[in-house]
Every structure is written in C-alpha cells, then in structure tokens.
Chains A and B, each alone.
Chain A
Amino acid sequence: MDPTGSTPAGVVVQGVRRSFGSTHAVRDMTFSASPGRVTGLIGPNGSGKTTLLLMLATLLAPDAGTIRIGGLDPLRDPGGVRALTGWMPDVLGSWASLTTRATLELTGRLHHLPKARAAARAEELIALVGLGDLADQPTRVLSRGQKQRMSLARALVHDPGVLLLDEPASGLDPEARVDLRVLVRRLAAEGRTVLVSSHVLAELEEMADDAVYVQRGATVDPERLEALRDAPRLWRVRAEDPAALDAALAGRDDVSTDHLGRLVPVPDEAGAADLLAALVRDGVRVVAFAPASGEMERTFLELSREAGA
C-alpha cells in the first residue's frame, strides 16, 4: 500500500475485543469504513469508541479479532499502518512551550519528513486549519478550539489516507464546527477514509455518510438498525394558532408537547405527508413541520431505550 494515501485504503474491523483487567471496554466490534466516505462512530460515553480508535491507531493490541487498515495488520506492521493513518485523540495534548509551527515541524520529522519538507508542510497545515495568527505562539496560549485545530493539523502532517478523529468537534464554537465539517468533507472527497467518533449527533448528522452504532463495547447489528428504521418517529408541528392545531389533533391520544411545539408520532415519511395534508385541510396554518430529531439521534435514542428496557 502506498503510504502517501494515493491508493484508497479502507478500514475493516472484525470481531475485535479488548479488556482492561475485568473491564470489557470493547466486547465485539465489526464494521468497515470505505475510502472517500465519512463514517460516524456513534455511541454514548464509555461505549468503547476511544478504545477502538486506540487499537486502530496501533497503540493498543486487541485481545481478539482482526483489524485491517489499507490491508495492513496494526499488530504485525504498526509502522506501515502509522504511515497510512492520522489519529486525532480525544485528549488535547500539546507540547506546551513549543509553537504550533514547531509542533507540526517536529511531528513531520518524526514521520521521517526531511527538515525543509516538514517546514513547508507545517506552513500548509497552518493555513489549512486557519491558525495563521497563532502559529508562532506557544501552544499553551491556544484555546480549546484552537488546540483542536492544531491537533487535526498534527494528524494530517504525513498526508494520511485514513483519518481517525476522536470527538473532533467537542469544544468548538458553531463557526469552527462548520469549518471542521467542510474540511472533513473535503478530506473525504479527496479519497480518504474518515472515521469520526462522537456523541454529539447533530454534528455527525451533518458530516457522515455512514454510521456505525456502538453500545456497551459492541457494534449494533445492521439488522437491528433496519428494524429500528420501521419504528414510528416523532414529527414536530408548530402552528400560528396553537389552539387550532390542538383542535385538529384532538382525535389522537399520542400527541406530546415540548417547548418548541407539538410532537406527533408518524410511521414514516408518507405518514408525515398525510398528516400535513390533513392539517392543512382542516385550515391549520402550519409554520413548522419537521422530524423532531435527526436520523442518527433517533436511532441512537431508540437503541438506548431498547437497551434500557
């Protein structure tokens, strides 16, 4: 596999397990992530996402199962995998007294880039993540969001074909989130495999093509996800005159209310269209009509509900 990532490299994980003493952090994970796509790794805190990414990043050895990154096994060829993989950890560590520029240059040199090339690459990345003004300040003065960007730039130093991003948007302001989304989409469009873990679903909803759900150390079976797709979903409705809306919905006993409007369960999108048509027919002046939650959020909450039940 070409380490520069010019050949697409995917991630394939099969039956991976890892425990720390009696804690089974990862019990059984199986999924794949394809080049050119952003794959979201979705699960609650403590569900094993970070442990999985540590194994993909060649830092931890799995107890069982196989991992292939661009066809390489991180256990047998960690060097090959490292040349191919950029990892952005959830812990925002930085060499506090070094500047962002020095950090990126030294990381480049640790990736065996010649000195001049490492300096040029640092310059490119500083522009890419928009840290130009702060590039020559020690990293200890960076804010959390700026450190996130520095961390992303550090993961990109060797132009990896596979990106592992662990909670990349936590602590980012809305503008920075938009920037991150645009950047991640662009990196994927260039043919990279991007795996993004998060529990902030709104952010994944906007950037991920595929989703892998993780629950208590295991990936959720696609069949189970399929079944969830058929479950009724909540639609949020708001009308100019709430009283008129309540009157039109009076026949239903499954309507609930939140601070934004009425929540009506519908079986699917056709059902939602029918509901809207009926409301309009009844003369209700509807001002907002939309799914109450994103697809991922719905699935995530549904899974948590099932697990809790």
Chain B
Amino acid sequence: MKTSALAVGTVVDLELRQRVRSTAWYVLLGVSAVLLLGVTLLLLATAGLFGRNGGPQAAAAVVFFVLLLGTLVTPALSGAAINGDRDAGTLATTQVTLIHGWQLVLGKFLAAWTASLAFLAVAIPFLLIAEAFGGADAGVLLTSLAVTVIELGVIAAVGVGLSAVIARPIFSVVTTYLVVAALSIGTLVAFGLGGLAFPVTVTATDESYASGAVDDTGKVVHPVCDPPIVEHYDTPSYDKLWGLLAANPYVVLADAVPGRFDASGNPKDAFAAIKVAERTVQIPIARSTYSSDCHPGRDTRDTRAPQSVLDSTAPTWTIGLLIHLVLALVALGAAVRAVRTPARRLARGTRIA
C-alpha cells in the first residue's frame, strides 16, 4: 500500500517536472490570468445591462468562463501523457522498472489533473471578485469550484486514456478536444435535433368564450363558450433525451449550484435559469391539453412555479457526474490495459521502444 503510494507519487513528481513545469506552461498560466482579468472586468462593466440581477449574472458568466478555459487547457496537458513518452522513448524505460501499469496511469492522471487545477487556482481570485460583486454566496462559489475540479479531472482522465490507446500524440490530443466538444456542444445539438426528429402528437382542445360573452371592458357578461376546437399537431419531445443534457458539463455545473430566485420566483442568474429549463424538459409533454375559459377546473395549462419544477424533478447533476465518472474510469481502465507488459498485442503502428 505504502509502496504503491510512493510509486504513484514518483510518477506524479516525474510527470510534473518533465512535462508540465515547462516555460510554455507558465506562459499559458499567465495568458489565462490576463484573459480572466479581461473577461471579468468586461462582464462586471456590462453587468448593468442585466438589470437588478447584473451582479449574479456576471458572476455566473465568470464561472462558466473558468470552466471553458479549464476544459480547453486540460486536453493539451493530458492528451499526450503516454504516447508522448512512447515517442520520446521514455515509456519502455519506465515500464522496465518496478512500477506497475496502473501506478503509471494513475500517476500520469493525477499529474495532468494537478496541472489543470493550477489554471483553476489562477482563476480563483477572479471568481472571488465576481462573487463579491454578485452578492457573495459561498454556496455558489464552493459548488461551482467543486464541480469544475471534478470536470477537469474527468477530462484529464479521458486525455490520459486516449493517449494510451491512440498511437500518435497529435491524434490523441485532438480526440480529447473532440470529446470535450462532444460533451459541451454535441450534447446540446443532439438534444435539440433529437427532439425535432422524434416529435409527439399533441391533441389540444381549446374552449373559448362565445362572441358576446365578454363586453368591451373585458368583463364577462354571459359566460357561454363556443363548441371546443380540437387540434392535433406534432411538437418536439425532449423528456427522453434529457440524459444528453445531463452529460453536458455546463448543465451539470448549473444544476449543481444552489438555485437563486428573486421574490417573484424568477431565476436570479444563468445557473438558476439553465437549471429550471433543463429540469422542465424532464417532465413529459402532456399528450392532450385542455384550455378552457368556461371550465377552469379542466384547464391543463402549466402554471407551476420554478421552485416546484425543481422539487419534482431528478437532480441532473448527480446523473451527469455519474456519466462523467464512468467515462473517466473507462478511459483510465483502457489506459491500464494498453500499458500492460509483457505485451501480447501491440496497437497498429506502435513500437514498444
């Protein structure tokens, strides 16, 4: 146990010294800090446009930007962890030591994760500024940080996994970026198109007041309705596709943050708005609706408050994190398999040393 921990620690040490702590990495950290400063200042300057909720909105935007930055940097830090060593001729010389394959993979994963967390550390001051401006909420700050930490770990794991199963570093880095793109954008596209591709037919019955029922001032003088009008139409259905949204890191982030609503029940920031929107799609569309002026009791129009939507639906972030953790474990497992020695099969185009 202790030996294993030491071995993993040695790999982390090696990895951080060799791959990560280079001049380019420090430059990248500096560039990120400048970017964050610019974005934070711009967002705070424009906060007035959002009206009274300008502060929280700007703070949420900064948090999303930090996640964006992290997900853009992490593939570069992790996506060549193993095949890069193979190219440099240092993988085999590591494999002939007493280190186990899983220790090597775990060490490389932890190092890549640590390196990407350095970018998050650079972002913390800006998050604090933004939160302070947006009516500091420790709950929001801590949850968004925790989710970002986990998401960066997932991407680091995917990068290390792909770097073990794909022979060429350039392809594994690009593939890791594609995975990030698939999760961040692909899920939204698939969700939107999927809903359109598989519509459901809704039967809508509309019963409205007959002419003369309402006078010029809008007062009901003669409460009699025309015969109901029944319509059939197709409408996109999303409740079955909700899992796609759950796999989106931004949705997971928004959903995990405690939702903040103002006195009239409206979302205070983008987190809460996204949360209500993606929770609402969990609820299947009613196949038949009834709207009636004469019989309010039969009316099926949804007038639920956002909070009750949240209370009645499944927490998306737990499902999303579960999906991401499975993805990370599969990737790391594949990496352990790929570096197993003595090797029986070699991937096409790879050389052991």
A132 contacts partner chain B, Cβ-Cβ < 8 Å: no
Residues of A within 8 A of B7 (CB): 110, 112
Cβ-defined contact, A79 with B10, below 8 A: no
Interface 1/0 per residue, A249-279 and B, CB below 8 Å: 0000000000000000000000000000000
Instruction: Report the nearest B residue to A58, measured CB to CB.
Output: B342
A82 contacts partner chain B, Cβ-Cβ < 8 Å: yes
Closest Cβ of chain B: how far from A86's Cβ, in Å? 8
Cβ-defined contact, B10 with A102, below 8 A: no
Question: A60's contact among B11, B17, B342, by CB below 8 Å, is which?
Answer: B342
A207 contacts partner chain B, Cβ-Cβ < 8 Å: no
Residues of A within 8 A of B18 (CB): 95-98
Cβ-defined contact, A106 with B13, below 8 A: yes
Number of inter-chain CB pairs below 8 Å: 95
Instruction: Report the nearest A residue to B351, measured CB to CB.
Output: A91
Question: A111's contact among B14, B91, B98, B343, by CB below 8 Å, is which?
Answer: B98
Interface 1/0 per residue, B1-37 and A, CB below 8 Å: 0010011001101100110001000000000000000
Cβ-defined contact, A54 with B353, below 8 A: yes
Cβ-defined contact, B344 with A89, below 8 A: no
Count of interface residues, chain A, beta-carbon cutoff 8 Å: 37
Residues of B within 8 A of A110 (CB): 7, 10-11, 14, 94, 97-99
A236 contacts partner chain B, Cβ-Cβ < 8 Å: no
Residues of chain B in range 78-129 having any CB-CB distance to chain A below 8 Å:
88-99
Residues of B within 8 A of A98 (CB): 14, 17-18
B346 contacts partner chain A, Cβ-Cβ < 8 Å: yes
Cβ-defined contact, B353 with A89, below 8 A: yes
Cβ-defined contact, B14 with A82, below 8 A: no
> How far apart are the CA atoms of A55 and B342 in the complex, in Å?
8
B313 contacts partner chain A, Cβ-Cβ < 8 Å: no
Interface 1/0 per residue, A105-130 and B, CB below 8 Å: 01101111000000000000000000
Cβ-defined contact, A87 with B96, below 8 A: yes
> How far apart are the CA atoms of A106 and B14 in the complex, in Å?
7
> How far apart are the CA atoms of A107 and B88 in the complex, in Å?
16
B196 contacts partner chain A, Cβ-Cβ < 8 Å: no
Cβ-defined contact, B88 with A58, below 8 A: no
Beyond A54-B353, A59-B353, A102-B17, whether A112 also contacts B3 by CB under 8 A is yes
Cβ-defined contact, B343 with A61, below 8 A: yes
Cβ-defined contact, A93 with B341, below 8 A: no
A78 contacts partner chain B, Cβ-Cβ < 8 Å: yes
Cβ-defined contact, A82 with B17, below 8 A: no
Cβ-defined contact, A61 with B344, below 8 A: yes
Cβ-defined contact, A79 with B93, below 8 A: no
Which one of B88, B97, B344 has the highest number of Cβ atoms from chain A below 10 Å of its Cβ?
Answer: B97
Instruction: Report the nearest B residue to A151, measured CB to CB.
Output: B93
4 A-B pairs closest in CB distance: A93-B89, A110-B97, A61-B342, A91-B89
A-B contact pairs, 24 of them (CB 8 A): A50-B353, A54-B92, A57-B92, A59-B92, A59-B95, A59-B341, A59-B352, A60-B341, A60-B352, A61-B342, A75-B342, A78-B341, A82-B98, A83-B98, A89-B89, A89-B92, A90-B353, A91-B89, A97-B17, A107-B97, A110-B10, A110-B94, A111-B98, A154-B93
* Known interface pairs A20-B346, A93-B93; 10 further A-B residue pairs with C-beta atoms within 8 A, sorted by A's residue number: A58-B341, A59-B95, A59-B352, A60-B343, A85-B96, A89-B92, A91-B89, A107-B93, A110-B99, A111-B98
